[in-house]
A = this chain, B = another copy of it.
Amino acid sequence: MSHQIAVIPGDGIGQEVTPAAIDVLDALEVDFEFREGEAGDRVAEETGDPLPEATIELARESDATLFGAAGERAADIILPLREVVGSYANVRPAKAYPGLEAVKPETDLVFIRENTQGVYAQIESQLTDDLATLTRVVTREASRKIAEYGFEYAEEHGYDNVTIAHKANVMQETDGLFLEAAEAVAEERGADYDTELMDALAMKLVMYPEDYDVIITPNLAGDVLSDLAAGLVGGLGLLPSANVGDDNALFEPVHGSAPDIAGQGVANPSAMILSAAMMLDHLDYDDEATRVTDAVETVLAEGPHTPDLGGDASTEAFTAAVIEQL
């Protein structure tokens, strides 16, 4: 079955790592049709809009979207795109890949972050010049849905520990509802789980990351805790992510547009290629997903390395090495 894939390189090194991922996908026996769309600071300068309607349409009608990186206007691009593809689950593995110095190399966990509500509903009012409010929204439906996804993900990927993060001691109604709904899903499935207050979890993740596998979290908690975990494994540089909806999905590296090294052809495309591997997994090309992930890990372990890891390989040379390992 042919899949139509929207490709949105975006800003800075997005323009370099996205073609690298496409090259890797092209080297596989998969039936993808790629269509490119524009987004980011450059198109914003030309048209005033960082995310043109045509790009939104492209993402909407594709089976999946590969997104590179965004610069200054990241929130104005990535948040609408997540909504356009109907993604309710933001999947963020944090694992120490070989070749990276890590604060906690034993870290190997996956955040399943609710991707539609909480403070990201972005319902705000500037009531007076000196007073602003934000309405945080939590529904049972969205909470059940992310919990279902999280427990399913844990089962499919062979993870034992599932933790539900929350702050229901302070946000009693909203996170209370999130927690109640997520626990109900666990009970119905007969699944084991733990719950953790998000502040206590921040501390425990720093001290004992090996105790955790899959962490189901509200939106902002997932944003902060997954970046914390990125710190444990050596930074955002190598981390992929998926934004998964019922009929559509978007895959993006966790890193940004890295303007300091953009245009030099030396960006490390690992996170982007690993995001493409998450797309393969999502589209049920399980073998291909594993082949790509293994190839990236091998090259990260054996070299050649891009400058961020102390080597002098170009993006192209790194990508060629990955393709050779496939």
Contacts and interface: CB of A to CB of B under 8 A. Distances in A.
Interface of A: 74-75, 79, 103-104, 119-120, 122, 124-126, 129-141, 167, 169-174, 176-177, 198-200, 202-207, 220-221, 223-228, 230-232, 234-236
A224 B204 contact: no
Nearest to A168: B75
A199 B224 contact: yes
B203 A236 contact: yes
B133 A137 contact: yes
A251 to B, nearest CB: 19
A232 B169 CA distance: 24
A100 B223 CA distance: 30
One complex includes copies of this chain to the number of 2
A258 to B, nearest CB: 13
A204 B232 CA distance: 10
Contact of A177 (B79, B126, B171, B206): B126
Contact of A173 (B103, B132, B172, B231): B132
A141 B198 CA distance: 28
B174 A133 contact: yes
Given A132-B137, A132-B176, A202-B228, 15 more contacts: A103-B103, A119-B167, A124-B172, A125-B173, A131-B137, A133-B136, A134-B138, A199-B227, A202-B202, A202-B224, A202-B225, A203-B236, A204-B231, A207-B234, A207-B235
Contacts of A176: 132
A130 B119 contact: no
Nearest to A207: B231
Nearest to A123: B133
20 contacts: A75-B169, A103-B103, A103-B207, A122-B171, A124-B173, A129-B140, A130-B139, A130-B177, A131-B138, A132-B173, A133-B137, A134-B136, A134-B173, A198-B224, A199-B223, A202-B228, A203-B236, A206-B228, A207-B234, A224-B224
B177 A132 contact: yes
B119 A171 contact: yes
A169 B119 CA distance: 11
A102 to B, nearest CB: 10
Nearest to A198: B224
B134 A174 contact: yes
A133 B167 CA distance: 14
Nearest to A137: B133
A124 B135 CA distance: 9
